[in-house]
Amino acid sequence: KVVVVPVGIGPHVNLRQVHLIEKQAPENKAFVLSSVDELEQHRDEIISYLCDLAPEAPAPTQPPPVAQVTVGPEHLGVSSLGPKRNSMVLDVVFVLEGSDQIGEANFNRSREFMEAVIQRMDVGQDAIHITVLQYAYTVTVEATFREPQSKGDVLQRVREIRYQGGNSTNTGLALQYV
């Protein structure tokens, strides 16, 4: 199942296209913002919606064996790590516009927002896989889930993304990659 969550930013957003995407599936939800400044204001709402899309991981069929441990008083101040939470394998694609209409400053702010979202995700081979596309006249695959991934590797790739610029916005070509 594919869920699309378009985040349209700025005065040049094609609302007809955004609403068409939104109507394709009940889970599709669009966020239309007037400027990049609004990303920070809506960050938690967008992240919460994305996180709620992930299905709950099934509970283990058998409870793990319980071991009884006796701890001396010298160890009582040490906190234990909780159990590793169950995670689902998901593919998430970020599609960033890098055209002249956006401009380098707004592009960089969008990239920083994406980095903050990824920071809060459980990224890894057995968890969430990330692909990042940048588009203007051409489409550039900046990171792909076809390569082995760790959260650190993905974040480093995101930090290295540079604004490509271009006088054309080829959204359709970018979506064909998805």
Residue 37 in any domain: the answer is: yes
Number of alpha helices (DSSP H) and beta strands (DSSP E) in the chain: 5, 5
C-alpha distances (whole Å) from 7 to each of 23, 69, 83, 154 are: 15, 50, 34, 21
Q: Residue 56 has what pLDDT?
A: 62
Residue 1 in any domain: the answer is: no
Residue 75 in any domain: the answer is: no
* Residue 7, phi then psi, degrees to nearest 5: -120, 100
Residue 16 in any domain: the answer is: yes
Q: Decide if 177 contacts 141 (C-beta within 8 A).
A: yes
Q: Residue 72 has what pLDDT?
A: 44
Give the separation between CA 10 and CA 35, rounded to whole angstroms: 5
- Domain containing residue 94: 7-53+86-177
Residue 71 in any domain: the answer is: no
Q: Residue 8 has what pLDDT?
A: 87
Domains identified in the chain, total number = 1
* Residue 91, phi then psi, degrees to nearest 5: -105, 125
Kindly provide the b/e burial profile for residues 8-27, where b requires at least 16 CB atoms within 10 angstroms of the residue's own CB: bbbeebeeeebeebbeeeee
* Residue 12, phi then psi, degrees to nearest 5: -95, 10
Residue 70 in any domain: the answer is: no
128: burial class by Cβ within 10 Å (0-12, 13-18, 19+)?
buried
Q: What is the pTM of this model?
A: 0.69
Residue 139 in any domain: the answer is: yes
10-residue mean pLDDT series, the chain (178 residues): 84 85 88 87 86 66 52 41 54 90 92 92 89 91 90 95 88 74
Residue 68 in any domain: the answer is: no
Give the separation between CA 169 and CA 137, rounded to whole angstroms: 6
- Which CATH number do you get for residue 169? 3.40.50.410
